[in-house]
Structure 1
Amino acid sequence: MKKSTEADIAMSKAAVKISGDLFSNPLCEQDQAFRESMTALDTAMKRMDSFNQEKVNQISKTVIDPLKKYSSVFPSLNMAVKRREQALQDYKRLQSKVEKYEEKEKTGPTMVKLHQAREELRPVREDFEAKNKQLLDEMPNFYHSRIDYFQPSFEALIRAQVAYFSEMHNIFSELTDQIDQAGLTDEQRERENEAKRALSIVADD
């Protein structure tokens, strides 16, 4: 999305530069009709650039920024998984220690060590179970909420595009009315240009 908005800005700025270059062409000083057409084009391109910037700003607020916030959650989730994994390793290590003492002969010193190992295991087990329960509760909720989170951004993106292209339709319709003096079709213009090129070649010869 960021690359798309950057490309939109680059395209819009390039269009403004093209119209500016044409407007500053010496032909504008020599031909009144050409100058009027280039003035209309320059105005239209600047309007397009302005609406494009509004669209990009809207997309940044409603799509890019929310998705940045969403993606920022992943590092903390990964850290929670790592903490749970570490708690599991500690739990397994102490559980193995308890089992080792349970397998030994029930002598006084062994029973003391078994009791100590069980006491050491209890808070570690509770810590693991708490971390594990938190992930089991939160991870599915986070996973299932992804579409609900993205849907408003997707709708905002479509609305921004609709508003922009509606304005572009109006701008270019007005521009066409301003510069299309002859009212020719594209095919007719192409044939006219071909005829002019042929005439210029003959004149050069």
Structure 2
Amino acid sequence: MPFKIGQPKKQIVSKTVERDFEREYEKLQLEDQTKKLHKDMKKSTEADLAMSKAAVKISADLLSNPLCEQDQAFLDSMTALDTAMKRMDAFNQEKVNQIQKTVIDPLKGVFPSLNMAVKRREQALQDYKRLQSKVEKYEEKEKTGPAIVKLCQAKDELRPVKEDFEAKNKQLLDEMPKFYQSRIDYFQPSFEALIRAQVVYFTEMYNIFSQLTDQIDEAGLTDEQRQKETEAKLNELRSLSIVADD
């Protein structure tokens, strides 16, 4: 007569072992923060790329402006700007690729393997409980020949499953504390790589825009003088009747 397999009566995993496992696992609950960091890093690099692509588009639009056909100085300035924006975009792409390889990908890969190991341990525990309950049911039945045979078969089936769970449980109890202790060693190189990528990028940006300034700032005016000059020219435009305020 078939019977329903329930939870075993025997405590197959001691409360101490379960408590130790839960304690070590709780220490590693950095996953939510790491997922958020991974998501924010992705958004940051996507925004960086969008910015440099937009800058290239703007410089291309300016270069195609009819004024470039009429004024050689304006054409030279826009050509210099377009070249600078393309260089900026290229360095930005290199920076993003470096961040992807050294920061984003490592952040994405650290927890799935741990979670998979925990899931395998949980599945092994459920199999262990199921077969232990099966053994207990046969032990409670009348000791007839067929029942004894089935009991022996159930015990034979239980033995490797029990060993598998104990091996998985021991491995996690051994390795989770090591992972916790080495978490800084794992993450620190990624953040150092992020800083280095940013330093290289902004150093190149300084060089690019310094060269651009030298190319277009022929008059050698200070920022204050250039602002006054721009304001004077805008005032001239505002004085025209076609742009006068209503």
Tell me the TM-score normalised to structure 1 length: 0.79
Map of 2:236 onto structure 1 = 199
In the superposition, relative to structure 1, how do residues 47 and 96 fare at CA in structure 2: closer, same or farther (>3 Å)?
same
1:61 to 94, 97, 101: 101
Map of 1:104 onto structure 2 = none
2:55 aligned with 1:15, yes or no? Answer: yes
The equivalences for 1:1-205 within 5 A come to 1-87=41-127, 89-90=129-130, 93=133, 125-204=162-241
Question: Residue type of the partner of 2:94?
Answer: E
State whether residues 20 and 42 of structure 1, in contact with CA within 8 Å, keep that contact through their aligned partners in structure 2.
Answer: yes
Separation in structure 2 between the aligned mates of residue 54 and residue 163 of structure 1, nearest angstrom: 10
In the superposition, relative to structure 1, how do residues 128 and 61 fare at CA in structure 2: closer, same or farther (>3 Å)?
closer
Question: Residue type of the partner of 1:51?
Answer: F
Aligned length: 198
SS in 2 for 1:72: helix
**1:108-158 CA deviation, whole Å, 9 max, x = no partner?**
88xx97xx5895666555444333212211222233333212222211111
Bigger shift: residues 81-90 or 49-58: 81-90
Separation in structure 2 between the aligned mates of residue 119 and residue 32 of structure 1, nearest angstrom: 92
Separation in structure 1 between the aligned mates of residue 60 and residue 143 of structure 2, nearest angstrom: 96
Task: Extract unaligned runs of 5+ from structure 1.
Answer: 102-106
Tell me the TM-score normalised to structure 2 length: 0.67
Separation in structure 1 between the aligned mates of residue 110 and residue 201 of structure 2, nearest angstrom: 26
**CA RMSD for the aligned pairs?**
3.0
**1:21-43 CA deviation, whole Å, 9 max, x = no partner?**
11111111111111111111011
Separation in structure 1 between the aligned mates of residue 67 and residue 164 of structure 2, nearest angstrom: 80
In the superposition, relative to structure 1, how do residues 183 and 119 fare at CA in structure 2: closer, same or farther (>3 Å)?
same
Separation in structure 2 between the aligned mates of residue 192 and residue 51 of structure 1, nearest angstrom: 33
State whether residues 37 and 178 of structure 1, in contact with CA within 8 Å, keep that contact through their aligned partners in structure 2.
Answer: yes
**1:56-112 CA deviation, whole Å, 9 max, x = no partner?**
2222222223333324314422322322431553476368669x86xxxxx988xx9
Question: Residue type of the partner of 1:194?
Answer: E
Task: Extract unaligned runs of 5+ from structure 2.
Answer: 1-40
